C-alpha cells in the first residue's frame, strides 16, 4: 500500500499545479488542483480530452461538497446515503465557488464526488483542496484499474502515480444530475440505478449520452480499446478474441466472471479489455451480459467502446 510520505509528496505536487494519478474504488484518477486554471488545463492536455467535456471534482467529505454546490434535499439525501462511494452528483455551483470554470467547461454546474478509497481520501485531506480527477488514461480509451495501466499510457505526463492496487469497483461512478428539471441519471456506474431509485422513492430519467455533455462519461464513443468490439456475441468469428461472461470454455481464456457475478464482471471489465488489447488483436467479440444491476453500467461501457469513433 502507498506510504504516507508518498501521499505527502503527491499532495505537495498537486499544490504546485502538477498532475498526480491516484487510485479510487472505481478507476485510477488523473488529479489536479481544481482551483488552479492552469493545472486543470494540463489535465485536458494530458488526456487529449475535449474542453467541452466537464470534469468531476473530488473532495474529502460531503460537507466539503456542500460548500461548493447547491444541493437540493434529494441530492443531499443521495450524498448522505452513498458517500463516500461511486456516485457523482451534478448541482448548481455556489456563488463564489473557487473551482475553475474550466473544470465545468464554463457551465454554472459542478460535478462532485467523495471517493471510497483510503489512499484517495488521505490525498484529498493532505492536499486540502478540491481535486479534479477524470480517469487517468487518454481520452476515449480504456479506463485504468491498476497503476501499471496509468504508467503505460500516460508515461511522463504525470508527476507521480500513487499505487493502491487494483480498483475494487472497476467502472466509473454513476452520475446523477439535480439542475432544477428533476433528477436525471447521466451515466450508469458503480451505484446501480435501482438503488438510487429506491433511495429517492421514484424512477429517474436516464440520459445516456450527449454531443455536448454537462457531466463526464456522456460522449457516445468512449472507453474504447484499439480493437473493434462486437457485442452480444454467443461465439467468436474467425480472427476475433472472445470476452465471455460465465464459465471458461473453448472460446478463449478470458471471462468477465466465471460464476456469472456482475460485481466481479464490473471489476474485471477494463482490466480484461486492456489485457486483450495488448495482444494486438483487431477485433473482440463480447458475450451477452445481463442488463440488471451493475449490468447496466457494464453494458453502457461496452456500448460506448463499440460505438463509431471520430476520425483521428
Enumerate the domain spans of the chain.
4-171, 228-306
What's the pLDDT score for residue 311?
46
Provide the CA 27 distance to its chain's centre, in angstroms.
6
How much is the mean pLDDT over the chain? 90
Span 260-290, pLDDT tens digits: 999 899 899 989 998 999 999 999 999 999 9
Alpha carbon separation from 250 to 222, 268, 272, 274 (Å, rounded): 30, 20, 17, 21
Q: Quick one: fold of 4-171?
A: DHBP synthase (3.90.870)
CA 185, CA 91: separation in Å to the nearest integer? 13
pTM of the model: 0.85
SS3 83: coil
Residue keyed to cell 486483450 = 276
What's the pLDDT score for residue 48?
86
What's the pLDDT score for residue 297?
87
Residue pair 142/273 in contact by the 8 Å Cβ criterion: yes
Count of Cβ atoms closer than 10 Å to residue 155 Cβ: 9
What's the pLDDT score for residue 209?
61
End-to-end CA distance of the chain: 38
What's the pLDDT score for residue 219?
57
Q: Which residues of the chain carry a pLDDT beneath 50?
A: 211, 311-312
Q: What is the largest CA-CA distance in the chain?
A: 60
Amino acid at each position: 500500500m502507498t506510504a504516507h510520505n508518498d501521499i505527502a509528496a503527491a499532495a505537495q505536487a498537486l499544490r504546485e499545479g502538477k498532475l498526480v494519478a491516484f487510485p479510487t474504488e472505481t478507476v485510477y484518477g488523473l488529479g489536479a488542483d481544481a482551483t488552479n486554471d492552469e493545472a486543470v488545463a494540463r489535465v485536458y492536455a494530458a488526456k487529449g480530452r475535449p474542453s467541452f467535456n466537464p470534469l468531476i471534482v473530488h473532495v474529502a467529505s460531503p460537507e466539503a461538497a456542500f460548500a461548493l454546490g447547491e444541493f437540493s434535499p434529494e441530492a443531499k439525501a443521495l450524498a448522505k446515503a452513498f458517500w463516500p462511494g461511486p456516485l457523482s452528483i451534478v448541482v448548481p455551483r455556489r456563488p463564489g465557488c473557487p473551482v475553475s470554470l474550466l473544470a465545468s467547461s464554463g457551465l454554472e454546474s459542478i460535478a462532485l464526488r467523495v471517493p471510497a478509497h483510503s489512499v484517495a481520501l488521505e490525498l484529498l485531506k493532505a492536499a486540502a483542496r478540491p481535486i479534479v480527477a477524470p480517469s487517468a488514461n487518454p481520452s476515449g480509451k480504456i479506463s485504468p484499474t491498476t497503476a501499471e495501466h496509468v504508467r503505460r499510457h500516460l508515461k511522463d505526463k504525470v508527476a507521480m502515480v500513487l499505487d493502491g492496487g487494483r480498483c475494487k469497483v472497476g467502472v466509473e461512478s454513476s452520475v446523477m444530475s439535480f439542475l432544477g428539471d428533476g433528477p436525471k441519471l447521466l451515466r450508469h456506474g458503480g451505484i446501480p440505478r435501482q438503488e438510487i431509485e429506491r433511495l429517492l422513492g421514484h424512477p429517474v430519467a436516464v440520459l445516456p449520452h450527449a454531443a455536448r455533455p454537462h457531466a463526464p462519461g456522456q460522449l457516445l464513443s468512449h472507453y474504447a480499446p484499439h480493437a473493434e468490439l462486437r457485442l452480444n456475441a454467443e461465439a467468436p468469428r474467425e480472427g476475433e478474441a472472445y470476452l465471455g461472461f460465465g464459465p471458461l470454455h473453448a472460446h478463449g481464456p478470458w471471462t468477465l466472471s466465471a460464476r456469472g457475478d456482475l460485481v466481479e464482471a464490473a471489476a474485471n471489465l477494463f482490466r480484461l479489455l486492456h489485457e486483450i488489447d495488448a495482444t494486438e488483436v483487431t477485433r473482440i467479440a463480447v458475450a451477452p451480459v445481463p442488463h440488471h444491476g451493475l449490468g447496466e453500467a457494464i453494458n453502457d461501457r461496452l456500448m460506448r467502446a463499440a460505438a463509431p469513433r471520430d476520425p483521428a
